[in-house]
Amino acid sequence: MSRKQKTIEKVILFTKSSDPRTGFLSNESKHSFILDEKRWPTVEHYLQAKKFDGTEYEETIRKAPTVYQARKLAQPYTTLAFDPSGRVSRKKVYGRKDPKKQAEYYIREDWAVVEPVLMEEAIRAKFSQNARLKRRLLDTHNAKLTNPQNPLLGPTLERIRGELSPKSSPTATAASPAPSGWSPKELKDFRSDHLSAKDKKFVEGMVALTLRVAETEGRGKVHAGMVEDAAYSIAPNKKTGEEIVRYIRGINDVSWTDIYSSMPKYERVINEIHEIFTKSDEWQKTQIGPSALIAATLRWLHMEATPAQKEEIYAAASNPSKVDIVLQKQKRWYRRSPEFTPGRRKPKAKAKAKARKPKAKAKPSQSPRRRRH
């Protein structure tokens, strides 16, 4: 009788970051990474802070000394509210109880939707920017990774492990050539009920310029820094370009309440722009940053630009193929020249040793004389 061979699937169970064998898989492991041009101590810091994206409280959580304190800062507290009739009610708000600021924050409404996307983005940055961690993740081979406390964490790690594996397809690597699937037809399919005809043309032009920047950089993926270079290129002059870049970099410091008051459909516009990027490249589903920066550029056009600037930028966006790509002279982690590796700092110059004067020799102490009784 022939016996059927049973295949045993290897399972790696991880829960605590303090475990020397599996702790590196946890979101609480102390392996920092750079994302959104900021250094984050852990993935958990990033997730807790992004609940309050675009507020001062996001930076407060990012700077929390420990994961425990980051989580504690993201927990709500109860406060009393008085309505016009004088009735007292309780409501849950977020934010440190500071009597000087008296600031109240609220978790973003789309948190349940964007949390898995942001978690995957942070984990990808954590392992791709640390060669030692990447090697340890690849050493798990085809094992099933399981975390009972977070069911999404294991499958996310397995997916990223497949992307980082040398055997994966070229489209899964960050250094792949520019995607050939992009075509002007996809930009023409862009439809939005929340934008005017001019704004649609502007968004289409910014997407096309961002793709041209990606080709110039020799990358097949679109990153946030490429949107900055596209905005810098579409500006009529250097001063305006620097103004736009400075504005969209500081958009994280603007509260969502202020953004929604001026542009109520802002978040929907971001999602519509994001759909353009994801049509030909599934990897872009996890990259919401470029779409948010294009929307921020549109907000600058509405809130800060002069009528003359608007006319020139709208005209340039209507014909993006004639716009000259100008790359800013800044360090980009995806740019090979000059080479820049995230997480490494330049060694500090050693201070010149000062000539020390020889210490004077201490005089030998004389023993006290005995008293005569």
Q: Looking at the structure, tell me whether residues 227 and 93 fall in a common domain.
A: no
pLDDT in tens, 187-219: 444 555 667 888 888 888 898 888 888 888 877
What range defines the domain where residue 138 resides?
23-168
Separation CA 227–CA 237 (nearest Å):
17
Q: Looking at the structure, tell me whether residues 203 and 270 fall in a common domain.
A: yes
Write the single-letter amino acid at 268: R
Closest Cα partner for 329 from 202, 229, 194? 229
Q: Looking at the structure, tell me whether residues 266 and 139 fall in a common domain.
A: no
Q: Looking at the structure, tell me whether residues 68 and 163 fall in a common domain.
A: yes
pLDDT of the residue at 303: 87
Q: Which of 133, 168, 203 is the last residue of a domain?
A: 168
Separation CA 43–CA 342 (nearest Å):
16
Domain count across the chain: 2
Cis amide leading into 236 (omega within 30): no
* Residue 363 belongs to some domain of the structure: no
* Residue 250 belongs to some domain of the structure: yes
Q: Are 202 and 298 in contact (CB under 8 A)?
A: yes
Task: Please report which confidence band the pLDDT of residue 173 belongs to, taking 50, 70 and 90 as the band edges.
Answer: very low
* Residue 372 belongs to some domain of the structure: no
Whether the pLDDT of residue 183 is over 50: the answer is no
What does pTM read for this prediction? Answer: 0.46
For the ranges 166-170, 198-202, 293-297, the lowest mean pLDDT is seen at: 166-170
Separation CA 136–CA 227 (nearest Å):
33
* Residue 275 belongs to some domain of the structure: yes
Return all residues near 161 (Cβ < 8 A) that are at least 6 apart: 137, 138, 140
* Residue 370 belongs to some domain of the structure: no
Q: Looking at the structure, tell me whether residues 149 and 283 fall in a common domain.
A: no
For the ranges 174-188, 314-328, 333-347, the lowest mean pLDDT is seen at: 174-188
Which CATH number covers residue 149? 1.10.357.40
Query: Residue 181 to residues 125, 271, 276, 278, 323: CA-CA distances in angstroms?
Result: 25, 21, 12, 11, 22
Return all residues near 157 (Cβ < 8 A) that are at least 6 apart: 25, 123, 137, 145
Whether the pLDDT of residue 101 is over 60: the answer is no
Whether the pLDDT of residue 256 is over 90: the answer is no
Q: Which of 289, 306, 322 is the last residue of a domain?
A: 322
Q: Which of 168, 194, 223 is the last residue of a domain?
A: 168
SS3 140: coil
* Residue 191 belongs to some domain of the structure: yes
Separation CA 15–CA 238 (nearest Å):
51
* Residue 347 belongs to some domain of the structure: no
Q: Looking at the structure, tell me whether residues 95 and 50 fall in a common domain.
A: yes
Write the single-letter amino acid at 56: E
Q: Are 57 and 105 in contact (CB under 8 A)?
A: yes
* Residue 175 belongs to some domain of the structure: no
Mean pLDDT value of segment 48-68: 90
Separation CA 63–CA 41 (nearest Å):
8
For 56, how many CA atoms within 13 A lie in the half-sphere containing its CB? 6
Q: Looking at the structure, tell me whether residues 195 and 300 fall in a common domain.
A: yes
Tokens of 245: 């870049």
Count CB neighbours of 9 within 10 A. 7
Whether the pLDDT of residue 179 is over 70: the answer is no
Separation CA 98–CA 152 (nearest Å):
35
357: left (phi over 0), alpha (psi -120 to 50) or beta: beta
Q: Looking at the structure, tell me whether residues 224 and 263 fall in a common domain.
A: yes
Tokens of 89: 């009610």
Write the single-letter amino acid at 170: P
Q: Looking at the structure, tell me whether residues 134 and 212 fall in a common domain.
A: no
Q: Looking at the structure, tell me whether residues 88 and 125 fall in a common domain.
A: yes
Query: Residue 2 to residues 5, 65, 74, 339: CA-CA distances in angstroms?
Result: 9, 61, 59, 60
Task: Please report which confidence band the pLDDT of residue 84 belongs to, taking 50, 70 and 90 as the band edges.
Answer: confident
Q: Looking at the structure, tell me whether residues 261 and 133 fall in a common domain.
A: no
Return all residues near 147 (Cβ < 8 A) that are at least 6 apart: 13, 14, 15, 25, 26, 153, 154
N- to C-terminal Cα distance for the chain? 113
Write the single-letter amino acid at 40: W
DSSP state for residue 302 in the 8-state scheme:
H
DSSP state for residue 105 in the 8-state scheme:
B
Q: Are strands 33-35 and 77-82 parallel, antiparallel or unpaired?
A: unpaired
Q: Looking at the structure, tell me whether residues 100 and 214 fall in a common domain.
A: no
Cis amide leading into 338 (omega within 30): yes
Alpha carbon 278 to its chain centroid, in Å, reads 18
